[in-house]
Every structure is written in structure tokens, then in C-alpha cells.
Amino acid sequence: MIEMRHLTRRSLIGGLLAAAAAGTGSAQAPVRVVTSTTILADFVRAVGGDRVSVSALVPANGDAHVYQPTPADGRTLAAAGLVVFNGLGLEGAGFTRLVRASGYRGAVVGAAEGIAIVRRAGGHHHDQGGGRAQRETVEPATVADPHGWQNVANVAVYARNIAAALAQVDAAGAASYQANAERYGQRMAQLDAWVRARVASVPAAKRRVITTHEAFGYFGAAYGIEFIAAQGVSSEREPSAAQIARVIAQARRENVRALFIENMTNPRTVEQIAREIGAAVGGTLYADSLSDANGPAANYEALVRHNVEMLVAGMQRN
Ligand code: ZN
């Protein structure tokens, strides 16, 4: 507002006319959206189009569960017009603390809000140490699984939430955001149908997979695959010897040969299990973050297609 005093009335009106002539989309600066993960950033890009600029705090191939904020992240947040995170415990308490400390005072939107929450048994191997110990003094019987984006059908909910949040900070773009979210949702419905068809090519009895942490609960529930992991829904804590032994015993008992490492977690556990049961690791699944731009999961749709082809090939070996 201070700068406005330096403008003559004439140049101000001229500027407004120029902005109007340039159209509603391009005249204004894009809304700066900051997300926790690269997957959420991709959703914001799909919904926001050229009305937004997006950056993710956790980089490609990074792990949101163990995210450690940097001073640069605080500055990025302070300049944000909107903050989008997943919620359901994905980002942990460090994220909330960072947002508060950054001085950002705008909306902080949980993009997973309203999805049907999958709960996982096993509070016993979830978040016993680290920052959450003080908050969770009693271990819950089940915990909310935060990995909602792994059910492709849920992404329409993510897109709608993002569209509504963007409309709050950029009312002029509301119709555009809504249309983009709707179109993206339709695209996701087609992708969902494709996933179902690919998984259906694997006999039901073979649909078992071993991964590092429980990132695929929504995927498994939606598409009829049993995922077995030594680590719980958070990768925050290394699995115990007993947890690894349990997975090895189940793999032997049920003849599971489909093993995958994840792009953002330590491959050691799965490699150890593979050695123990005499199977080969089937490759890398993109669980909680995208690959870099040159990788096989540079956007969400590519991530899904890559994971599904890897999983189908792996499960055929069971
Ligand atoms: Zn995860």
C-alpha cells in the first residue's frame, strides 16, 4: 500500500486497464503454494495450472516421515500464499512447528481431509521414539494410515480440497480451479480403472508383496493386494529383529517372492529379507515422493503406472 502513494492516479488506472486487457489469468502474480511432499505439489500443479507456483519442502525421493526443516524452508513458508500438507500424521509434529515458527499466517490445508481413512493395527511398532513420544504416551490399538494418495480414487478428493483452498486465496480463479479439479478427477477415474485391470491380470492367490514400510495400505485395500512390511505406517523407526523375522517367516510360509524397496527409505531391510528367502528384489516402488524429473515417477500418474507394472511383474513370480 505504501508504494501506491508514489503512483499517480493516471498511472494507477493505466496499470489496471493493462491488467484487465491481459486477461484474468496472466495479469496477476501466481499464488505461491508450498506443499510438504512432491506428490502433493503435483496435485496442486494439476488444479492450479498457471495461476500457481508450487514448491515442495521435502525434495524428490525424500521422506516426509523423517523430514528435518531447514532455515531455507522457513523462508519459503514465510513467503507462501497457501500451505498444503497431507495430514493424518504423515508430516509429524516438526512440520506444524515449522509452519508456526516461520511467521506464515495463512491457511494450512490438510489435502487428505474427507477420504475414508484406512487404519492399521500395530501402534506397537509406530512412533515410539522421537518427537511424538510425549504426545502419544499411550500406544493406540490402531493408527490412521496417512498414505491416502495410494488409492487413485482418493486423488479426486485431494484435488477438490486443493481447489477449494485455492479459491479461498484467489477468488478470481475459483471456476478455473474447480474445472481443473473435475477434469483431473476424471483422469484419475480412468487411471483407477487401468490399475484394476492390470492387477486383475494376476491370480488372486499371488497378490502378495513385501515392502519396507506400510505405505501401500490404501493401495492394497483398493486393489486387493496384501502388502507385508517390517516397518509400520511411519518409516521413522528402524524395524526390530523380531519384526524382520516375522516377515521372513510369512514370506516362507506363503511363498512370497515379490519384494520391493522404496525410493525414499533404506533398502537394507528388504535386501536382508530377500537374501534370507533366496529371492531377488523386484525393483523400486515410489511410495511417498516422486522421482526427480528424469526418473520414472516424475509426476503422480507416472508414479502409479510405474508402481503397478513393477508390482504385476513381481507378483507373477509368487
Ligand atoms: Zn510413508
Angle, CA of 59, 63 and 66, to the nearest 5°: 120
* Averaged pLDDT, groups of 10, the chain, 318 residues long: 39 45 61 98 98 97 92 95 97 89 96 96 46 47 94 98 98 98 98 98 97 96 96 89 95 96 94 96 97 98 98 97
Q: How many CB atoms lie within 10 A of CB 12?
A: 11
State in Å: Cα 163 to ligand 1 middle: 24
Can you tell me whether residue 41 is helix, strand or coil? helix
Distance CA 31, CA 75 (A): 16
Which residue in 43, 3, 49 sits closest to 26, CA to CA? Answer: 49
Q: In 87-141, which ranges are E strands?
A: 108-110, 119-121
State in Å: Cα 147 to ligand 1 middle: 6
* Under 8 Å between Cβ of 230 and 247: yes
State in Å: Cα 125 to ligand 1 middle: 14
State in Å: Cα 216 to ligand 1 middle: 8
For ligand 1, an ion, list residues with CB under 5 A. Answer: 215, 288
Give the cell for residue 121. 493395527
State in Å: Cα 246 to ligand 1 middle: 20
Reported pTM: 0.86
Which residue in 240, 307, 249 sits closest to 269, CA to CA? Answer: 240
Give the per-residue pLDDT at 138: 55
Give the per-residue pLDDT at 254: 95
Q: What is the DSSP letter of 294?
A: T
State in Å: Cα 213 to ligand 1 middle: 7
Give the per-residue pLDDT at 122: 65
